[in-house]
Amino acid sequence: MGGGQYSVTGTTLSSNITSARRDAAARADAFCAHSARHAVIENFDDFAHDDHSGGPTSSAVFYCR
């Protein structure tokens, strides 16, 4: 993304978008932990798939602090 911003996507097998957001947040935090920092999430971009292509996904835009 540039400018110190990153994006990761979280997924879930359930129909609950909150689970996808939690997965994205955990992935962001794991990414930042490599440099002993924490993720600061600026926003989530949610996408609900139809029943044939899996559960919802959520992309987290974040920076590390």
Q: Could you tell me if residue 38 is inside a domain?
A: yes
Provide the residue range defining the domain that includes 39.
Answer: 6-64
Phi and psi torsions of 26, nearest 5°: -65, -40
Report the share of the chain in percent with pLDDT over 90.
75
pLDDT at 51: 63
| Tens-digit pLDDT profile for residues 6-31 | 999 999 988 889 999 999 999 999 99
Residue type, 56: P
**Can you give the pTM of this predicted structure?**
0.88
Q: Could you tell me if residue 1 is inside a domain?
A: no
Residue type, 16: N
Residue type, 58: S
Q: Could you tell me if residue 31 is inside a domain?
A: yes
Q: Could you tell me if residue 26 is inside a domain?
A: yes
Domain count, the chain: 1
Residues 6 or more apart whose CB falls under 8 angstroms from that of 8 comprise 24, 27, 28, 31, 59, 60, 62
Q: Could you tell me if residue 40 is inside a domain?
A: yes
